[in-house]
Structure formats: C-alpha cells, structure tokens
Structure 1
C-alpha cells in the first residue's frame, strides 16, 4: 500500500476516534482489507480510494452505524444522543431534528398537563380556567374537553415522534450506504 493509502487510513482512524477502540480498529482494518483486495484484483489504489470518498464522510457512516446499532432502546437519552449526532451531519438536520423533537416532547408533556388539569378541574378546582374566548367550559365537562384537546395535541406529539424516528432511520440508511459495498446491516 502506498503512502497515500496509509495516509487515508490514518485520517480515517483519526475521524473515528469517538468510537470504542475495538470498533474503530475493526473499521480501519475493514477498509484496509477492502483496499488490499481491490489492489489484488488489479484495481488502481487511487480509484479505490476515490470510490471510498472522503475519509471524514466514511467515518460518519461508521459512526452512524454505531449509533443505530448501539442505541436501539428508544430511551430519551439514546434518542437525544442520536439527534445530536445527526444534527452535526447537515444543514437540513440542524433544522428538522430539533423542530420534530421539540414538538414531540413538548406536545407530549402538554398533553399530560391538559389531562391532569381537566381531572383536577372536574373535582372542583376553580382556579383552573378552561374555555374559548367568550365561552367557559362547564366544570362537569372539563374532563371530556381535556380528553378531546389532549387527544389532538397528543396525536401531534405522536406523529412528530414517529417522523423524528423515521427521519433518523433514513439518515442512518444513507450513511450506511456509503460504507464499502453499500451494505445496510441490521
């Protein structure tokens, strides 16, 4: 392998420094093997490296794979870690992911507050106002109105959450396609 090929692998290793050591070494060895195999098959090293593309982008593909495979629980912390990773991957993601996340979690929290307020008001809490301009909701209908409004806002939260997960899955697929062979592993 030429010094250009070694330099490419060193850059890839540097860009993968946030991965666990074992995964980083596996990724670098995989690319090194891919290059060696291509050279053994008579392909010029420059053409192989050109197909692999920028080592920074290739490293993002490996990091994406690591995030998707390592964060399947769907917990708030895991989703936040994935969102932060994908927000660093492009301009559109910087806008889409935070908006969907704020809507999903903010509206979900508001749904809970509306349902709690409706239940409390039903039991006679006069300090909770519920109504539209010009019309106050009778106390005995507070829970029904809260359930209807909560269902609408909860639906918006749910569909934003689903959209967020689908968008991040789409990004993961796109990054994994840039791995050698365009593999999309589970």
Structure 2
C-alpha cells in the first residue's frame, strides 16, 4: 500500500505539499477502511485502480475547484494536460493557458509603457522604444496613454477569459471521467 501511495504522491507533485498530503491521507484512510472490511491489499489496489488514473482525477478536481490563477495551478494544468487530457488537450490546454498568462501580463505591462511614454513626452523626451501601431494608426504622444490603457485592459480581460475557458475545459474532462467511471 505504501508503494501505491508513493506513486500517487509522485503524480500529484504539481500540487502544493499540503494538498498532496491531504489527498494521500484521504486515500490512505479509504484503504484502511477497506482493509478493515476484510479486503486484501491486492483487492484494495484493484478497487482503487491505477494510481496514475486516480491521481489524475484528484489533480483535475484540485484544478477545477476555483478559477483563480496561480503559478502552482498553471503547473498543475500542465501536469494534467500531459497525463489526462488526451492528444488534443495536450496541445490545446497548454497553449490556451500559456496565452492567457501572457495576455494578462501584457495587459498590465502595456499601460505601464503608456505611462512611461506619456511622462517622457511631458518632460520633453521622445522614448522611441515604446510604440503602438494598429494598422495605419499610430497614436500621437497625447493619444498614447489612453490607447495603451484600452489595449492593456482588453488584453487582460481576454487573458482572464482564456484562463476561465481552460478551467472550464478541465472541469468538463473531470465530469466526463467521473461519469464514465460511474457507468463501469
């Protein structure tokens, strides 16, 4: 049983240590309850199934509990994708989650660039390294700050939407997995 629990913990390494410990304790408790009913270790492990599959189910649940972003949750998404989401999910989820983070970070950085460019203009400096060009439109120094704020807000919101879509997709995979396990 210890070997089984060690494998579970290994597959859950993307989660925080407290989450991992809680999950392993829960599984160990379930194993001990089954053992008290007279089942052998082999029967218990057979009933629980493949440790990788069980860990993936817990990993999916942990990711889908809330949609707030954290770097640890991003690592958990990648771990989930590599072992659970199938061929499409292995490419789609990492791309969408990485893009969402990039957009949220860019959404914060873009207005900062706008502030720097605007303050530079007010002080008489032309900061050429910070530019915005949308098609043929290049904002004047006075238009640069509001334009960068609008673009930053739009990028940040799009990033949040993509992050929520990532979490929703994982929730769907977990629900489908639980539904297929119930039918067995």
TM-score, with structure 2 as normaliser: 0.64
Deviation of the 1:165 alpha carbon: 1.7
Call closer, same or farther: CA 1:156–1:17 in 2, change over 3 Å: closer
Cα RMSD, aligned residues only: 3.7
Deviation of the 1:61 alpha carbon: 5.3
Which residue in the other structure is 1:24 paired with? 27
Identify unmatched segments of 5+ residues in structure 1: 1-8, 37-44
- Superimposed CA distance per residue, residues 25-63 of structure 1 (whole angstroms, 9 cap, x where no aligned partner): 124346668996xxxxxxxx9xxx7xx695346523553
Counterpart CA distance in 1 for 2:67 and 2:158 is: 22
- Whether the 8 Å contact between 2:61 and 2:174 is mirrored in structure 1 is no
Which of 161, 166, 171 is the matching residue for 2:173?
A: 171
What is the DSSP-based 3-state SS (H/G/I as helix, E as strand, rest coil) of the residue aligned with 2:95?
helix
- Whether the 8 Å contact between 1:12 and 1:58 is mirrored in structure 2 is no
- Whether the 8 Å contact between 1:104 and 1:160 is mirrored in structure 2 is yes
Counterpart CA distance in 1 for 2:38 and 2:99 is: 45
Identify unmatched segments of 5+ residues in structure 2: 11-19
- Superimposed CA distance per residue, residues 66-85 of structure 1 (whole angstroms, 9 cap, x where no aligned partner): 7359x759452331242133
Give matches, 1:78-97, under 5 Å: 78-87=72-81, 88-89=83-84, 90-97=86-93
Q: Greater shift after overlay, 89-98 or 25-34?
A: 25-34
Counterpart CA distance in 2 for 1:11 and 1:177 is: 28
